[in-house]
């Protein structure tokens, strides 16, 4: 159980992660939350979720309670289903901490369309924990759209264990909250297993979004490819912490991590900490991290062709984030993700 989930269960703020904890230095919660709110009441679902356009089953977790499934998702050997998993918070100021377990059996191929949704004005404190097992040769595509209220505090943590030759493709698209964090911990066995771990954030006002990943390569011949991109304006704050650990014996690991951010205002902030810890030989590891502004030259070039400045900015930022969206292989989901990102960018600065 994470610190936040424990704090919610015990209603004890002293259990909250603090910015004095190295892994929470930019997203400390103990300094923010003096009282853990009461448990959220039973709630009802919101209207259609952001993935509604993809033909799929809908699994609902409302105010921390699984509504129409037992909190366990099992995908049988060789099955290829698609499901929406909607974490919905309708409580104005409640707290909840659901725990969901997902088991994907041998050779199955599961597309999980996850969303984090809150009723407008919600000031809930939520922790979502997912425990995911991917059996040998199975595949999980996990795509996340997070669109939560400005006053929410929301942390989602997934612990994902892969079997040999398993494949994980994850993309987190987030717009932040009072504090929002997506944490992904991956136990990577090598042995032909392949991980794509991507994210993007679009942040305005004083919103905060944190994407933290830890990938531990424990066996030979594993591949991890990671790309996170973000845009922050106003006084928003983006956080990226990416750690890749290559354990002794995990030879032949190929791990790449990139984080690139655009700051669209002087008061926006992006904090990034890419870390590679390598204890094996013969590995290929690389990381790149950049934070910059839109190119004035590119904006002028577009304007000289008649494109207005706001339109040029949206076009160039959409192209910047587009690289992350393009890596989503599932076509209907990719189109939804693309439209979602463009809508969020179009709304910046309004």
Partner 1 sequence: MLSIQNLHVSIADKAIINGLSLAVPAGEVHAVMGPNGAGKSTLSYTLAGRAGYEVTEGSATLDGEDLLALSPDARAARGVFLSFQYPLEIPGVPALTFMRTAMNAQRKARGEDEISAPDFLKRVRAAAANLRMDMEMLKRGLNVGFSGGEKKRMEILQMAMLEPRLLILDETDSGLDIDALRIVSEGVNAMRAPDRAMLVITHYQRLLDYIKPDRVHVLAKGRIVASGGPELALELEREGYDKYAAAA
Nearer CB in complex with partner 1: 237/259: 259
CB 274 to partner 1: min, Å = 22
For partner 1, which is the closer residue by CB, 47 or 304? 304
Q: Which residue's CB is nearer to partner 1, number 57 or number 326?
A: 326
Nearest one of 168, 238, 227 to 198, comparing CA atoms: 227
Task: Quote the CA–CA distance of 173 and 238 in Å, as a whole number.
Answer: 12
Q: Which two tokens stand for residue 25?
A: 């230095």
Instruction: Tell the smallest beta-carbon distance from residue 299 to partner 1 (Å).
Output: 9
CB burial string 235-250: b at 16+ within 10 A, e below: bbbbbbbbbbbbbeeb
Where on the chain is the footprint of partner 1 (CB under 8 A)? 295-298, 300-309, 311, 315-316, 318-320, 322-323
Q: What's the min distance (Å) between Cβ of 304 and partner 1?
A: 5
Distance of closest approach, residue 222 Cβ to partner 1, in angstroms: 29
The smaller minimum CB distance to partner 1, of residues 267 and 303, is found at 303
Residue 178 or 313: which CB sits closer to partner 1? Answer: 313
**Strand, coil or helix: what is 145?**
strand
Residue 261: CB minimum distance to partner 1, A: 15
CB burial class (10 A; 0-12, 13-18, 19+) of residue 293?
exposed
- Residue 296, classified by CB atoms within 10 Å of its CB into exposed (0-12), middle (13-18) or buried (19+), is exposed
Cβ partners under 8 Å of residue 230, min gap 6? 199, 200, 201, 202, 203, 209, 238, 240, 259, 260, 261, 262, 270, 321
Residues of the chain by 3-state class (helix, strand, coil), percent to 5: 15, 45, 40
- As measured in angstroms, the least distance from the Cβ of 53 to partner 1 is 22
- Shorter beta-carbon distance to partner 1: residue 279 or 301: 301
User: At its nearest, how many Å lie between partner 1 and the CB of residue 317?
Assistant: 10
249 vs 292, beta carbon nearer partner 1: 292
């Amino acid at each position: 159980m994470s610190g936040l989930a424990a704090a919610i269960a015990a209603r004890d703020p002293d259990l909250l992660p603090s910015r004095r904890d190295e892994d929470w230095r930019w997203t400390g919660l103990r300094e923010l939350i003096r009282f853990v709110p009461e448990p959220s009441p039973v709630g009802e679902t919101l209207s259609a979720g952001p993935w509604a356009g993809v033909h799929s089953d809908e699994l609902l977790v409302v105010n921390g309670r699984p509504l129409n499934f037992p909190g366990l998702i099992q995908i049988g050997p060789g099955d290829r289903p698609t499901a929406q998993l909607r974490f919905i918070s309708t409580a104005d100021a409640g707290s909840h901490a659901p725990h969901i377990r997902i088991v994907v059996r041998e050779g199955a191929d599961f597309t999980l369309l996850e969303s984090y949704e809150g009723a407008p004005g919600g000031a809930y404190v939520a922790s979502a924990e997912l425990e995911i097992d991917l059996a040998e040769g199975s595949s999980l595509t996990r795509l996340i759209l997070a669109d939560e209220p400005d006053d929410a505090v929301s942390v989602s943590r997934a612990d994902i264990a892969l079997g040999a030759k398993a494949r994980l493709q994850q993309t987190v698209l987030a717009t932040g909250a009072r504090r929002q964090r997506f944490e992904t911990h991956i136990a990577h066995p090598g042995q032909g297993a392949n991980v794509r771990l991507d994210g993007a954030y679009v942040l305005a006002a004083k919103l905060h979004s944190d994407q933290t990943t830890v990938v531990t390569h424990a066996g030979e011949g594993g591949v991890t490819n990671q790309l996170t991109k973000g845009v922050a304006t106003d006084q928003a704050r983006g956080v990226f912490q990416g750690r890749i650990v290559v354990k002794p014996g995990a030879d032949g690991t190929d791990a790449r991590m990139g984080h690139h951010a655009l700051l669209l205002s002087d008061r926006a902030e992006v904090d990034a900490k890419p870390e590679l810890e390598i204890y094996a030989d013969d590995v290929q590891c690389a990381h790149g991290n950049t934070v910059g502004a839109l190119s004035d030259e590119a904006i002028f070039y577009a304007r000289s062709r008649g494109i207005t400045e706001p339109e040029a900015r949206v076009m160039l930022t959409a192209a910047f984030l587009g690289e992350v969206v393009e890596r989503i292989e599932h076509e209907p989901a990719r189109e939804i993700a693309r439209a979602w990102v463009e809508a969020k960018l179009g709304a910046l600065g309004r």
